[in-house]
Amino acid sequence: MLQEIAAARAARPTRVARTRRFLMCRPVHYDVVYSINPWMQPRKPTDTELAMLQWDRLRRLYLRLGHRVDEIRPVPGLPDMVFAANAATVVGGKVLSARFRHAERAAEAPAYLRWFRDRGYPVEKAKHVNEGEGDYLIAGDRILAGTGFRTDVRSHAEAQRFFGLPVVTLTLVDSRFYHLDTALAVLDHEEIMYYPAAFSAESRAVLRELYPDAILGTDADAEVFGLNAVSDGRHVVLPHQATHLIAELRSSGFVPVGVDLSEFLKSGGSAKCCTLEIRDRPRSRR
């Protein structure tokens, strides 16, 4: 038995963490005052102080893991601005701004766009509805792009043209998982985990073909937003309640790091929703 355990451990791939740069927004104005997804119940009380504490623990965790965290100033009247991932997509130092479907979040896009423009990033304003990294996930040399509830499928061609990367369209069918990042997480260049029931039959077939060894989430994992995770290639930050995913990640050689972001689940968000990755242009070597 000991020999079998040792052999299994030796067979695990060596996971390498890569330093990331993240943009986050403090939840100073966080609240649930409207409902644009099944998780949002304005009559259910929120605790802004607890949200601030949970968010800051997430920020400090990223710093301890060696990542860089930039912050954007929160704007009064935008309670969902904390969900930075929805505001843009950044690849190779180029920024495709978001265009939100719901009027309640529309003003977030210009605020984030100004932040990038003020720092010299080339920015393209989206022509079609897209909700940033909520529905665009970068997986190696391709973009996995969600549609069905928020992002307009026509925006996928826009992203492909702007970034010069092939886009794989994935259709979501369960309104609880209205963004791609609530049902799928990129673990490394060619590795993902996802919740099959969130996708159409055609999209499940695509995912099986592209990622035959993907980690599959259970109903219980999905209901605590376990797929709304952030990976640096070795460490995977996800809700601590997603016990099945945590075990699967560990057996695959990843280092799962459980966090408590329960206050943000009231708005239908978790670790990834709070985290926009800034993928700068690689520096040339001299």
Q: Whole-prediction pTM value?
A: 0.94
Among 80, 88, 79, 173, which residue's Cα sits nearest to residue 136? 88
Catalytic annotation present for 156: no
Structure-token match 């242009």, residue found: 281
Predicted pLDDT of residue 8: 46
Predicted pLDDT of residue 12: 67
Predicted pLDDT of residue 4: 47
Which is the catalytic residue, given 25, 67, 156, 273?
A: 273
Catalytic annotation present for 273: yes
pLDDT tens by residue, the chain, 286 residues = 434 434 444 456 899 999 999 999 999 999 999 999 999 999 999 999 999 999 999 999 999 999 999 999 999 999 999 999 999 999 999 999 999 999 999 999 999 999 999 999 999 999 999 999 999 999 999 999 999 999 999 999 999 999 999 999 999 999 999 999 999 999 999 999 999 999 999 999 999 999 999 999 999 999 999 999 999 999 999 999 999 999 999 999 999 999 999 999 999 999 999 999 999 987 644 4
Contacts of residue 15, defined as CB under 8 A and 6 or more positions apart, other chains included, come to 188, 233, 234, 253, 254, 255
Q: Distances in Å between the alpha carbon of 37 and those of 78, 262, 286?
A: 16, 16, 49
Predicted pLDDT of residue 281: 86
Contacts of residue 167, defined as CB under 8 A and 6 or more positions apart, other chains included, come to 142, 143, 145, 156, 157, 159, 160
Which is the catalytic residue, given 25, 67, 156, 179?
A: 179
Run of H or E residues at 12: none
* Phi and psi torsions of 271, nearest 5°: -60, -50
Domains identified in the chain and CATH numbers: 18-277 (3.75.10.10)
Detail the DSSP E strand segments found in 98-220. 123-124, 136-139, 142-147, 167-171, 184-188, 191-194, 215-216
Predicted pLDDT of residue 11: 55
Predicted pLDDT of residue 282: 73
Predicted pLDDT of residue 5: 39
